[in-house]
Amino acid sequence: MKNYYSLLIILFWSNYFFASVINFNKVSLIDSDSIKIVTVHFSESKPDSTAYINIDYPQLIGFENKAIEEKVNQFLKNEFEQSILWYNEISADTVNFNEDDYDFYYSFETGFEVKYNTKKFLSITLDHYQYTGGAHGNYYSLGYNIDMSDGKILTLSDIINNDSFDLLSYECEQAILDTFQVGSLLEAGLFENEVTILPDQDFYIIPGALVLQFDPYEIGPFSMGEINIAIPFNRIKDILKPNLPFSTN
C-alpha cells in the first residue's frame, strides 16, 4: 500500500478486542495545477493477531470550492471504508477457530494510486487485497474518475459516445494483442477470443490514454493477475465525447 512523507497525527486506542490507529500523511505536489491530497491511514487488529485491517485513503485539501471538496472527500471515505464492514464480520467469527490445530490469519488491505491529477479532473484507483482463507488471497481495483467542476464520478458513458462501445471493444482487443505480442486473445491466455466492453466497465485515466481495468478472473485466470489495457486517446479520438475535463492530446 502507498505511504507518503511526514506523519502528522496519530490516534491510538484499544478495548477488549481490538486496537486501531488513524494517521494523516501529506502528499507533497510540485505542479501548481494539481490538487493537494492527504493520505489518511486507518488500522485495526485483534490482540491475538487473527485479523487485521490497514486502509490508506485519499482526502483533498485546499481545493477552491469547499462544497465540492467535502462532497468528493465524503465519497472517497465511504468507498474506502467499505472493507471495515468485512473486517468486522470476519473478526466476530475468528473466535470460532481459536481451538483448531492451526491458526487463521485474516487480512484486509486497501490503498490508492493517483493516476491523473489536475484542478479540473482527478483519477484515482482503489487497490484492495484480502485474505480470508484458502490457497491465496484475492484482490481487485476500482477506478474513480472525478470531474472537479461538480464532483461527479464519471462512467465510461460520460466519456465514450453511446453508440461506440463496439469500437472501444475492438480497440481493447487490439491493445491486448499488442501488449502480449500474440495473434489471438486465447493465445494470450484469456478465457474468450473476444472482449466486450460495457458502459459499467472499470477504468481510469492517465496522461494520454484511457486504461481499461480487469480484475483477476474477469477475462483471464488468476495466474494472469490484474490486466490493465492502456488505449491511447489518438486511437479512439473519434468516439470520445467533446469537452472532457482532461486533456486528450
pLDDT score for 4:
34
Q: Is the pLDDT of residue 16 over 50?
A: no
Beta strand 152-153 with 209-214 is unpaired
pLDDT score for 142:
96
**Of 101, 99, 95, residue with least CA distance to 50:** 95
Q: Could you give the maximum distance between any two Cα atoms of the chain, in Å?
A: 62
Three-point CA angle 45, 20, 48, nearest 5°: 25
pLDDT score for 138:
84
Domains and CATH numbers, the chain: 7-153 (3.30.565.40), 156-239 (3.90.640.20)
pLDDT score for 106:
84
pLDDT by residue (tens digit) across 77-86?
Answer: 999 998 888 8
pLDDT score for 23:
52
Separation CA 234–CA 249 (nearest Å): 7
Other beta carbons within 10 Å of 157: 13
Percent of the chain with pLDDT over 90: 65
- What's the chain's average pLDDT? 85
Identity at 181, one-letter amino acid code: Q
- The residues pairing with 240 across neighbouring beta strands, listed in sequence order, are 160
**Number of Cα atoms under 13 Å in the Cβ half of residue 227:** 26
Q: Is the pLDDT of residue 41 over 70?
A: yes
Reading the block at residue 13, the C-alpha cell is 486506542
pLDDT by residue (tens digit) across 190-220?
Answer: 999 999 999 999 999 999 999 999 999 899 9
More confident residue, 40 or 90: 40
3-state secondary structure of 92: helix
Residue 31 Cα distances to 35, 117, 119, 140, angstroms:
9, 9, 10, 30
pLDDT score for 11:
30
Q: Is the pLDDT of residue 12 over 50?
A: no
